[in-house]
Structure 1
């Protein structure tokens, strides 16, 4: 291990949890999910289902596999969420014409309406989370997170 990263790693002798970057990544994510879940309660939804609706809005007719990759979730978990959303009449599923093994998912009209309702609520959480930061700071943070993701993904 190189010394240049040692203060950030739990293996160092003088390790402090607050210097571990992934501590903050998980803390921010957990707090964000908690806040989002709280505001989504109004509509009987949670962050997991919101993420699928959001993914479908950005990629209509996505396969369950596509959705699983987009929301970084196990295929079995994504399938359960999709069928729960289907029971709630927010999405529909159909077999792909080219390959019947592939299940595609689309937002229903009710799902589209819900997407816009919950986006208004979750935007409040997003704005709260970015308070005190400039757009440039947010862009820089996203660049860093994307870079770290690419490092981890290969």
Structure 2
């Protein structure tokens, strides 16, 4: 594949084959990943959006709603409803930012931290299975490729 022209992967003309289209495989992988996560998270009575929120909060501590929306890839209006339910469940706290009253900050609670640990343990096997047979170098290259493609599409 090293000598294949990148134009080969653009869906045009009679030479195009969908099963050689990188986005076809990204979509299929994402769908399968989502199904597996939903199956496991359902047992914990939670879902993918809550998992994403908890992961970001564990890594970054206090995060504004707008920054959280960017990292969890959820529209701010949708995220606000998710956060309200998570606050009612005692998983997060929401507070006005001390420096800018227009900003709402979100922080994980001990109950949220406990759920995050359960989620991590419950989903561990999904990632181990997904990475099976790949070397660290292959995973690093995959990450770089995906970041590069993301940057390409993010440019205006």
TM-score category by the smaller chain?
A: over 0.9
- Give me the TM-score of the superposition, normalised by structure 1: 0.93
The corresponding residue for 1:122 is: 123
The corresponding residue for 1:94 is: 95
Report the CA distance between 1:71 and its aligned residue.
1.4
2 CA distance for matches of 1:124 and 1:62?
28
- Give me the TM-score of the superposition, normalised by structure 2: 0.92
Report the CA distance between 1:5 and its aligned residue.
2.7
Is the 8 Å Cα contact of residues 6 and 12 (structure 1) preserved in structure 2? no
Per-residue displacement from partner, 1:5-63 (whole Å, max 9, x unpaired)? 33211123222111111111111111111101111111101111100110111111101
Structure 2: gaps (5+ residues): none
2 CA distance for matches of 1:45 and 1:37?
8
The corresponding residue for 1:74 is: 75
Per-residue displacement from partner, 1:41-90 (whole Å, max 9, x unpaired)? 11101111100110111111101101011112211122122112112211
2 CA distance for matches of 1:44 and 1:124?
18
The corresponding residue for 1:131 is: 132
What is the alpha-carbon root mean square deviation over aligned residues?
Answer: 1.4
Per-residue displacement from partner, 1:120-149 (whole Å, max 9, x unpaired)? 111111001111111211111111111111
Q: How many residues align?
A: 152
1 CA distance for matches of 2:77 and 2:11?
33
2 CA distance for matches of 1:96 and 1:12?
54
After the TM superposition, which segments of 4 or more aligned residues of structure 1 sit over 3 Å from their partners? Answer: none
